[in-house]
Structure 1
Amino acid sequence: MAGSGLLWLALTSCILTLASTSQHSDRIPRAAISHVQELSCGDPDTPEADDCFDPCENYTELDEPSRGTNSKERIEACDDHLSGWYRFQSDGGITLLEECIPMFKCHTDAPLWLNGAHPKLGEGIVSRTVCAHWVENCCFWEYEAEVKACLDYSRYPDDPDLFYVYQLEPTTNCNLRYCTDRNSTAIMCRYPECRSVERCSYRNKEWSCRCRKKYNDSEIQSLQPILQCGASEITLTIDTCLLGGLEIEELIGSLTNGKAVDIEPGSDTYSRNVIIPFDSFDYPDTTKNDAVYKDTITFKSTETESILLQVNFDCTYPLDYEVSPPNVLKPLVSPWIISVSGEGKFNVVMGFYDEDFKKPIEDDVIELPVDSIVYVKAKLKEGDRGHFKTVLRNCYATADIYPVDYPLIKDRSAQKEKVLMEQPSAKRRRQI
């Protein structure tokens, strides 16, 4: 009998080696990671002796989020039908909980929990007790279970996912149900890791970071939209979690006047840029010195047309600017340089032109006789040209030798006999 036992062990060892090689032959070679899988075989001298299989490769997936400890709804679910090896794969968790669970959690009356630690990788199949909590007794009913740690190479061959398979038996009483740890899902989202406003979620057989439904005050503050008051348009950057995590094609946005706004991808996967050109406004609010673009954007779902978010915004632009031409005048006799300096948000430019004000003179230094006629033009290069025109309110000539300003135009009035002002279009528009 001793010799027979040794022969059976040797034969089993040979079968296991061949089976393991066959199962992993189509995978990417892994030099840095090695793990000997333990197979479950039938008892010697029985018809099942040659039935060897790896539970890491032979299991039934349970995608049931209601098994999570966060499920509080009273539903009488029961596991009196389960029998075999299972892998938990859902938002509710991927492992059995290792602590006593309050009654009426996980969509059942008496939740089942694992009374013992999960095995480490390489420990093979271990036996554990599963307890059911009922009438203030954390182990009112007991069941036997087998557990094994496994590796899943399908997503990240160089950094495989750790998961567990469980051999579960049907419950003899109802309502009892195996309960999973909601927090165990975080390890499934590593590239990239989820942000604080997201959770690792299992949808359509894939793990990904999805927006949570509720946020605390600090998280809401981190989701504040970013407003950019640009020279040619207004841009609002919004986190997708404020928009229900919907894709661009699932969203519509509009101003209070009904005009739609463009929604574009942001600089990262979790942001959206809302582009608002100036002609989207009927007319900005104006004061003596400023123009204010103020409105509310309403975002809706294209499917349900329900309101997801409303954002109030306003951008203020000054109406007076000081600018300088990029080039200077250099008279042949008297070296005067005319310049005007300043700053602003609209892009206003100034330059020297021909007598028709069509062709700019782009030379860095312009040399011309002292008595020459000079044509100067200021224009709004970037800004709300639909509502505003540009005029010269004040214009000075400045010598680079003596810091003295020579007024040519003051308060829109010519200060010299040889200075002639030409107004912009005759259309009634507010003038800068």
Structure 2
Amino acid sequence: MRRMSSLLFLLVLLGAPHGMAGFTTPTSLSTEAHDCTQREGTSLTVVMEAFMMFFDFSFFMDRALNSISARFPCVSRQYASVILDIAETNETITNDKNVFLQSITKSFDEDYAMFYEYLDTLWDCDQSLLYGVKRALEISPAESIIVVYTFGSMTDYNDTELMSDVYTLMEEKKSQVYFMWYSWGCSVLEDVFINISSLSYGESINMDNEDYYKLFHSLELLLSKPLNSSERILTVNTKVTDDKYADAFNVTNPLTHLLISGDETFALNFSDPNGNTYKYAKNPYFSDYYYSWSSYDSSILSSHLVKSPAVGSWILNARGSRTLSVHVLGFTGLDKSGNCSNVDCHPDATCSEFGGYGECTCKEGFAGDGKSCSDIEECAGAYTNKCYYTGFSSCVNTIGSYTCGCDPGFEYKEEFACVDIDECADRSLNECDPVAICTNYYGSYTCTCPNGYYGDGYHCEINECQQGTPCGSNEECIKSIGSYSCIDPCSAHTVLNDPWRSTSNIYNADVDWYDWYHCDYRLSGWFRFKGEYDQQIPEQCVPRASCGSSIPIWMNGSHPTVSDGIVKRTMCHNWYDGCCTHPFSISVKMCPGGFHVYHLTNTLGCYMAYCTESNHTCSGVDCAPDEECKIVDNVPGCYCKKSLYTTNGIQPGNQAGDLIPQVTCGLGNIEVRFSKCLMEKLEYSPSAFHMRDYSCRAITERSDQSYVTFITRPANGSCGGSIANNGNEITYTNTVYLASQSDGVIIRDEYPIDFHCSYPLNMEINLLTAISTFVVSASINVAGKANFTITMGLFEDSRYIAPYTASQVFLNSSAMLYVGVVVTGPSGSSPFVLIMKNCYATPTPDSSSGPRYNILTNQCPNKNDQTISVLENGVSLKGRFSLQVFKFLGGFDQIYLHCQVGLCDTSSKVCATSCPSTRSSSLGNNEVTNMTLGPVKQKVAESFTVAALSSGGGTAVPTAKIFISAIFFLLLLC
């Protein structure tokens, strides 16, 4: 029901702007009979899942076809539809536009039972969409336009025979295929869509942005062209990362027009052999700031006509980023001789209009047979216009065209409709204070006073509170308009009286979690904790799932005295990766009444809260066995028991044996522990201990006794340590410096204590200690149980011991690629194992575009590639596979490897699989994230190729430089 409700909501959103109550089929615009000879035009075929018939696609298609029919009333064309129904494929072939529109339309009011039947089937995502594309190509005449309107399911994409048939038909028919898909539907195979559309000079359009009119404007031009008149000249579909792209193409024959389909997220510049330049600007509507919140990466189709293009070499220059898509079609046959001259035509018609065949043809924006032409009212409901798609405009009809009226914050540009005004680009366009920082947003802007100033951005004045220290150490400076004041937080604060904050409030399974936990996400300002007695934040690590919160916050440091005034202290979260993670600072003051006030800040998120313990009782104070709770200056704390250690007058550092720490050598972390009480008895100051890197300080831990603990990673440079490799093992070495006690300002007689950890050479330790661009790591919290780190690397040999350390890697085609992955995390047994689910290769760093060569599918290797070897997968916290270097068709000398990798819980799932796989993987496709390695390059260009079709990846398109890398996806299991 949740899925159904979500989809119904989306349907309402899609239908609401277009008056689609009841999902009724719109009535087509009627046209008058014309006294002219009918001729055949370019055909149109639509492929869609049956459920998509309930959407408003026919509503927009009708309006696009109305514009074409009005301008070319004497042209007939074939209309066809291929509907992927529940148990069959329904096809309609007709010359009647109304019959065609009816074949792609369902009414919810009339077919509501079928709606729910289709809905249940839709979520299975098992549509044979590739078969539908094949049928559309088969039943369509040559050079037809094929539009695929889909939720994205294409379960037959890896049918190599079917894919081969599609490629063969595209080459024979020269038809253009357009994919219009929704990413919130099934798992979209965008790379397959892009590959097919690019090879056919079509387009792949993400319809989440509802850019119907972009496609239909292009359709108006494509359906206007004479039959069998196009010549394919250039196709580009590539990821642009350095903000610029250049390419060349030749116009070899005299042509009447070039039709350029470009991506509006790029500025396009074409230069012809005669030095003429054709510029197409980037659409301001799709500025980076507008899509900074999303993963928007779809090309926005825009078409341009160039009349009488010069023969010879042309240059394309594009400026922008993301995926660039450009297609250039040439047209012949548009200059067929006719029996008219311009003087014979209506004033709003010409003999040379695009698609006119030398007949009198009404100009764009007019309707009729050329002898009689009338203005098309594009703002009427029967036609498409681009105004309402921006969401910020109204349509105003003009003779032969129309304009869009824009809301404040937008301006009208003829080629783009309403676009954002960058008010920050010109001082006269905004009302910010001259010193303020102006930030432009889509349709608006904000003004912010810079550091050192105070105000709302429209008026800024000097902030005295940020200019030196105008207030004393016992006061806080508060700025207001025109002045400032110094307040004492001891008298200006908020009292918090929350019993749930107590350190003794520990979660147990008998309590409902959602009723028990609390959150300080919106807490900010000066606060005093007060219950029956005044309370304070604990100075030691608090166990997780206590203090009424999943992640308690404590203070790593001592509370100030009254004479200290306002001081800064470090706050710590007890998270899964340590007792003091994500540290931050707050201000603290002890007031004359013996209580403390804290200037608290918002937490990182929910499930986090500040802890408290009483100032006047040891209740809830968790001391170690070698400590006892005492109340000093009305503040309880843990103090070492005097009876456990005696120094007998021995000076610090003289008992070397007592100073040997406990060293735990782990793959992820090295922990060095000293007895806190022993160090104090030997007159050392634990708060001044440090490692070679002075910033690596110790924290206080309490378990079987109180410890001063250092934590470092076994990596070169971590906490100032160093790594040595003798060929058999790797040794990490560092030094802890103990300082004698002092007055808290200076230290003397630091005593160095060296320690080391040695590890045998193997894949794990080499990955964890390597410094290389071909080794990457990422942290992951799994199911709220533990924090793990996944590290991935590319190795030189089959023993998986030596990772590549050079800045670049060059391999010949006979070499092998060895990829190893290691998971490190909490010590002790773990129910999780590493799974490498789907691994594949592409000729670009963009994993979602271009041809694709499968390596692993549902954990199983490609049976057609005998060089693939999987040593470990789904059985431990390690994964290894290898394969021989290859290259794609098209002369590319670099490759990217991509993998979906996750952690599988063996306590609740069957993680390992037998091959060939007879079941779906235990990991879902909707639970992935990315890591990147590479690039690796081939030494010498060779003729070795990859049969991309055998893996369902399509053929390579030689349009871009190719890189090789490995992207591994981490899975968070619930």
Fold-level similarity (TM above 0.5): no
Q: TM-score, normalised by structure 1?
A: 0.31
- Which is richer in helix? 2
Q: TM-score, normalised by structure 2?
A: 0.14
Q: Which has the larger radius of gyration?
A: 1
Comparing both chains, which one has the higher relative contact order based on Cα–Cα distances under 8 Å and sequence gaps of 6 or more? 1
